[in-house]
Amino acid sequence: MTTDFEPMPGDAKHEPSAESTADVLAVLYERVLRVDPSDPASEQRDRFYLSKGHGPHAYYRELSRRGFIDPAVLETFGAFASPLGHHPDRVRLAGVEISSGSLGHGLPLAVGAALALRARDNRHSRVIVLVGDAELDEGSNQEAIALAGRLGLGRLTAVVIDNASSTHGWPGGIASRFALEGWTTATIDGRDRTAIEGAFADDLRDVPHVIVARVEAMS
Partner 1 sequence: MTSMRDRFTAVTTAALDADERVAVVLADIGADRFAAAAARHPRRVVNVGIREQLLVSVAGGMALEGMRPVVHTYAPFLVERAFEQIKLDLVHQGAGGAVLVSVGASYDDADAGRTHHAPGDVALLGTLPGVTIQVPGHADEAEMLLRRALGATGTHYVRLSEELNTVAHDGALTIVRPGAEASPLVIVVGPGLDDALEATRNLAVRVAYVTTVRPFPRAELAATGTDDVVLIEPFLAGTSSAEISAALAARPHRLLALGIAEPELRRYGTAAEHRRAHGLDAAGIRRAILAHQESKRAM
CB of 99 to partner 1, least distance (A): 6
The CA distance from 124 to 195, in Å, is 23
8 touching partner 1, by CB under 8 A: no
182 touching partner 1, by CB under 8 A: no
∠ CA(215), CA(138), CA(29), 5° rounding?
A: 45
Check: CB of residue 84 under 8 Å from CB of residue 77.
yes
Q: Which CB atom, from 118 or from 193, has the smaller least distance to partner 1? A: 118
Amino acid at 36: D
CB of 22 to partner 1, least distance (A): 26
Phi, psi of 88 (to 5 degrees): -70, 150
Which one of residues 31, 102, 123, 198 is an interface residue with partner 1 (CB under 8 A)? 102
The CA distance from 3 to 27, in Å, is 15
CB of 164 to partner 1, least distance (A): 26
Pairing relationship of beta strands 47-50 and 127-132 according to DSSP bridges: parallel
105 touching partner 1, by CB under 8 A: yes
Check: CB of residue 59 under 8 Å from CB of residue 130.
no
Q: Which CB atom, from 4 or from 43, has the smaller least distance to partner 1? A: 43
CB of 101 to partner 1, least distance (A): 8
∠ CA(108), CA(47), CA(106), 5° rounding?
A: 25
| Closest to 34 measured CA to CA, from 44, 24, 22, 49 | 44
Phi, psi of 158 (to 5 degrees): -110, 140
Binding segment for partner 1 (CB under 8 A), chosen from 6-14, 20-28, 70-78, 106-114, is 106-114
98 touching partner 1, by CB under 8 A: yes
CB of 57 to partner 1, least distance (A): 22
- Ranges within 110-169 binding partner 1 (CB under 8 A): 110-120, 139-140, 143-144, 146-147, 151
Residues near partner 1 (CB under 8 A): 90-91, 97-99, 102, 104-105, 108-120, 139-140, 143-144, 146-147, 151
